[in-house]
Amino acid sequence: MKKMKISEKIKARKEKKANNSGAITQQNIEESREEIIAKGKKFKYPFQYAKHRLIINAILIGIVAIGAFAFVGWLQLYKAQNTGEVMYRFTRTLGLSVAEVDGVKVRFSDYLMLYRSSIASVERQQGKFDDSESSKQQMDYYKRQALSSAEDYAFAMAKLEEAGKSVTDEEIDEIIEEHKIIDGEKRSDEAFEGIIRDNFGLSVKEYRRLIMLSLAKKKASVEFDKDAKKLVEEIATALTTNNNMEEVVKKYEGNDSIGYEIVEDVEFLNLDSGRAAMASKLQNVGDISDYFVSKNGDGYYVVKLLGKSENKVSYASIWVRFKWLDDEMTKLRDDGKVVEKINLNFDEKEEAEADKEETAEKTEE
């Protein structure tokens, strides 16, 4: 028994000596792996930290850059009132508003489109605007006109939407096809595109937008202007028993909603809100049309044929003007429900007062 214990001790010593001599075991492998990982962490974590910091810095720089760009854009649009091509495209991309009408947002891009098309048309006729005081006053006038029109359009579109109606692409296409006929000749798509670009500074897409706004205003007026509808029906009924338009119109003397005009020798396709085209469809001199909505959406017309040749016509017309939208917008402005985000130098009320004073002075003279 004693010898057995000695042998066991010798064996144990040999095993210990083998372990201490660097022999590879599973335990050694695990210990070595953990030691290597522990040493590697001090190199791994600093790089992770640096990468994380780099991402955060990039995000912060991006946010600052976007904020700076937005601030400069805001200054250019709302303070400096930059109307250039770059800022116009900027408003189209971001959908910014230039005003609100009873809570309805007015698109900045619509205002700039209307203004830029007016300026392009005027400059084509009278030359480029310069830095003179006269040019600045004219441009201020067209800014005011464009903003008022954009507000009218936005409100009309909102009301039309409330009525569950809209302007269709087919209606826009129909108007464009009519506009392509110039001097009795239908222009190609390319030629028409050049015409609207040269005359109004607009692309076809922008021109379609302009037509859509006009049609929306027209359809809203037809839908909501009950007074104009009642008045034109009254006049149409009176003309069935008395086809003398002048006599019928005299009964409404003093009513600024009604106008009377005689037009002689114009072509069937004359741009007169569709009156010449309507008169050309009448068969006999003295015939009177049914009332119809004007092409430009400013009211109702009734036309009487006075004469017709191969391609020209003479007519008399009674005009019943739409007043609903003007009255609504006047009331909203008086009630402070039209909020504009830019300050324009031109004041319509001051201009109207000045015109009245000038007219009074001329009358006294």
Domain coordinates in residue numbering, the chain: 18-80, 95-225, 227-322
Contact call for residues 156 and 212 (beta carbons, < 8 A): no
More confidently predicted of 168 and 68: 168
Tokens found for residue 234: 């009254």
C-alpha to C-alpha distance for 30 and 249, rounded to whole angstroms: 109
CA torsion, ordered 198, 206, 144, 322, to nearest 10 deg: 110
Of 115-129, 312-326, 351-365, which gets the smallest average pLDDT?
A: 351-365
Question: Residue 20 above 60 pLDDT?
Answer: no
Rounded to an integer, the average pLDDT of 99-103 is 96
Tokens found for residue 206: 């922008």
Q: Which of 231, 219, 236 is nearest to 293 (CA)?
A: 219
- Res 81: pLDDT: 87
Of 24-38, 152-166, 185-199, 340-354, which gets the smallest average pLDDT?
A: 24-38
Question: Residue 49 above 60 pLDDT?
Answer: no
Contact call for residues 97 and 106 (beta carbons, < 8 A): yes
What single-letter DSSP state applies at residue 262?
Answer: E
Question: Residue 282 above 80 pLDDT?
Answer: yes
Question: Residue 14 above 70 pLDDT?
Answer: no
Q: Which of 145, 151, 159 is nearest to 100 (CA)?
A: 151
List of long-range contacts for 169-173, beta carbons under 8 Å, 24+ apart? 171/215, 172/208, 172/211, 172/212, 172/215
Q: What are phi and psi of 340, to 5 degrees?
A: -100, 140
Contact call for residues 215 and 297 (beta carbons, < 8 A): yes
- Res 32: pLDDT: 65
Alpha-carbon torsion (54, 60, 61, 66), positive or negative:
positive
Question: Residue 356 above 90 pLDDT?
Answer: no
Question: Residue 326 above 80 pLDDT?
Answer: yes
- Res 75: pLDDT: 77
Of 13-17, 63-67, 321-325, 352-356, which gets the smallest average pLDDT?
A: 352-356
Which residues lie below 8 Å from residue 274, measured CB to CB, with a gap of 6+?
A: 292, 294, 295, 301
How confident is residue 362, by pLDDT bands cut at 50, 70 and 90? very low
How confident is residue 162, by pLDDT bands cut at 50, 70 and 90? very high
Q: Which of 282, 278, 280, 311 is nearest to 295 (CA)?
A: 278
Residues of the chain above pLDDT 90, percent: 61
Distances (CA, A) of 274 to 30, 198, 258: 95, 25, 17
What single-letter DSSP state applies at residue 77?
Answer: I
- Res 270: pLDDT: 86
Of 13-22, 66-75, 87-96, 196-205, which gets the smallest average pLDDT?
A: 13-22
Question: Residue 319 above 80 pLDDT?
Answer: yes
Question: Residue 12 above 70 pLDDT?
Answer: no
C-alpha to C-alpha distance for 304 and 250, rounded to whole angstroms: 16
State whether residue 307 is helix, strand or coil.
Answer: strand
Express each pLDDT in 32-46 by its tens digit.
Answer: 666 666 655 555 555
Express each pLDDT in 128-160 by its tens digit.
Answer: 999 899 999 999 999 999 999 999 999 999 999
Contact call for residues 316 and 301 (beta carbons, < 8 A): no
Q: Which of 143, 135, 123, 166 is nearest to 77 (CA)?
A: 143
Per-chain mean pLDDT for the chain: 85
Amino acid (1-letter code) at residue 309: S
C-alpha to C-alpha distance for 220 and 324, rounded to whole angstroms: 9
Both ends of the chain: CA-CA distance in Å?
Answer: 151
Q: Which of 186, 103, 117 is nearest to 149 (CA)?
A: 117
More confidently predicted of 209 and 2: 209
Residues of the chain above pLDDT 70, percent: 79
